[in-house]
Amino acid sequence: MPYEGVNQGHWYYTSTRCKKILTLIIIRSLKPCEITAMNLMTFSIETFSSIKTLLLKMIKNWNLITGEEEIRILRSYSERGRQLTLIYALDTMFIKFIQHSCAMFAILGYHLEHMADTENEKSDLNLDDKAYWRIISCIRQHKEIIDFVDRIESIYSTYFFLQLGYNMINMSITGTQIVLYADEMFEFIRLMLLALAQLLHLFFECWQAQQLIDHSALIHESICKAAWYRTSVKSKKLIGIMLIKTLETSKLTAGKLLVLCFECFAAKMLGDRTTSQESIVPCKLFLRATFCFCVKKGNGAYHSSKGASSEEDYASHTGSQPRERP
């Protein structure tokens, strides 16, 4: 608005020094004021429109799919996403996007496995080669799915980076509190449940990302399972190109730094020995806290039983009666 206000004003009637000041105002007003999330993501209509674009693509895919098997696959994944949102009740849009992506990968794998079902021996110049046009359609579909996943990555990458950082800090603090309050049963259980909830949240996000990786990797296997040897030479060339492309699986990252998957979850929870032997991992804090708690309780019971047995032995040797405990 300041930039437009200066341009719409009668600046040409002002003096030379006023024009110089207006020039500085115009340069300064070129950079608008923004509200960001830790200077990583800007809150704007453009950010919201990215989610709207994903929803429109989902509607388009539902309208274009007409085959019975494809509709069955899409409905099964949609029902799975609905059940997960009812159970988890967090990140519902993220779950819907991931399950829809997995469904589209499954449909693409189904098309690739049956690309040569009606293929007959034909020359390379025959434009009626059904397998050839099916492969072209699958390549276009694969590109659309990759674009869909890339848009999910662009929307949630910063969010995952902030979420993982918050989880790691919060779990480390919770682990320290568990060690400090190991003697208090109620506080110990409360902190352990809090740590478990944080751990499950991180696990669920890695689980959804792992599903995306697995389904994108199935495309390569679907091509290998298909009767590609029955297709024409030009079809085999396209299949070779698609095989090379499908070697790179789709994945989600946290700030373009960390790939979300089960391997990442296990490495962060159990500790990465290749980075540092002295690094403190939240899971280790939980295990140590549980061990300390059990040892303290066990030592108390052990010392009490040991003290009682020693008094009984002393009484048997001396012939006196063991004293009663209050």
| Token representation of residue 2 | 């300041």
The runs of H, that is alpha helices, within 226-274 are: 233-246, 262-270
How confident is the model at residue 124, as a pLDDT? 47
CA-CA distances (angstroms) from residue 224 to 102, 122, 234, 238, 303?
A: 19, 22, 17, 13, 66
- Mean pLDDT for 45-54 is 73
Task: Flag the least confident range among 2-11, 17-26, 236-245, 250-259.
Answer: 2-11
203 pLDDT above the threshold of 50: yes
> Residue 291 has what pLDDT?
47
- Report the share of the chain in percent with pLDDT over 70: 70
pLDDT of residue 41: 63
pLDDT in tens, 248-306: 888 888 888 888 888 878 876 665 444 333 333 444 444 455 445 444 544 444 344 44
Contacts of 91 (CB under 8 A, 6+ apart): 204, 205
| Mean pLDDT computed over every residue of the chain | 75
pLDDT for the residue 104: 92
Residue 51 has pLDDT above 80, yes or no: no
The predicted structure's pLDDT at residue 80: 86
Higher-confidence residue of 52 and 208: namely 208
Q: Is the pLDDT of residue 111 over 70?
A: yes
d(CA 234, CA 119): 13
Average pLDDT over residues 199-219: 88
pLDDT at 40: 59
Sorting pLDDT into bands at 50, 70 and 90, what band is 127? Answer: very low
Rounded distance, CA 183 to CA 244, Å?
A: 58
Global pTM?
0.68
- 77-95 residue pLDDT tens: 888 888 887 777 667 888 8
The number of CA neighbours under 13 Å toward the Cβ of 258 is 19
Confidence (pLDDT) at 101 = 92
Which pLDDT does position 133 carry in this prediction?
85
Residue 232, judged by CB atoms within 10 A of its CB (0-12, 13-18, 19+), counts as buried
CA-CA-CA-CA torsion sign (105, 109, 112, 114): negative
